[in-house]
Amino acid sequence: MAFEHPISVRFADTDMQGHVFFANYLTFCDEAMTAYLRHLGVPWQTLVEGGADMFYVKATCEYRGSATFEDALRVETAITRIGETSFTTRFSVRDPSGQVIAEAETVSVCVDPETRSKTRVPDRLRDAVAAHSA
């Protein structure tokens, strides 16, 4: 994938069974997405200031393993599809051995920060994704 973001599992991320609570994998993906945008040179705040915020409208996650307190995870992140007003991002969460323990996908819709109505995915983001995918 295009980008890797490290995540250290905190005790608060785990449940009574001692492994990462399932919903926290999406939190890890959200954190990786923010870091990915910074890596692309288009941080979230820059997009908002340019007239495009983002809402997650769909999120899926398939679990293939588990992580525990203090595991050093890697979240591989890539925008895989860009439409007119939305884009799809894929994530692979890997444990310290490199094993994929979760695969997720989100769909984000770009909206005007003022009106919250759909707006076109900014060219700046399109260009940055294209440049980093080549």
Domain residues for 64? 3-133
Residue 128 scores a pLDDT above 80: yes
Query: 133: pLDDT confidence band, cut at 50, 70 and 90?
Result: confident
Per-residue exposure over 108-134, b if at least 16 CB sit within 10 Å of its own CB, e if not = bbbbeeeeeeebebbeebeebbeeeee
- What is the predicted pLDDT for the residue at 58? 98
Tell me the per-residue pLDDT of 63-111, one tens digit each, with 9 for 90 and over.
Answer: 999 999 999 999 999 999 999 999 999 999 999 999 999 999 999 999 9
CATH number at residue 12: 3.10.129.10
d(CA 14, CA 22): 9
Give the chain's domain count.
1
- What is the predicted pLDDT for the residue at 1? 66
Nearest-5° Cα angle at 133, 117 to 59: 45
Task: Name the pTM for this structure.
Answer: 0.94
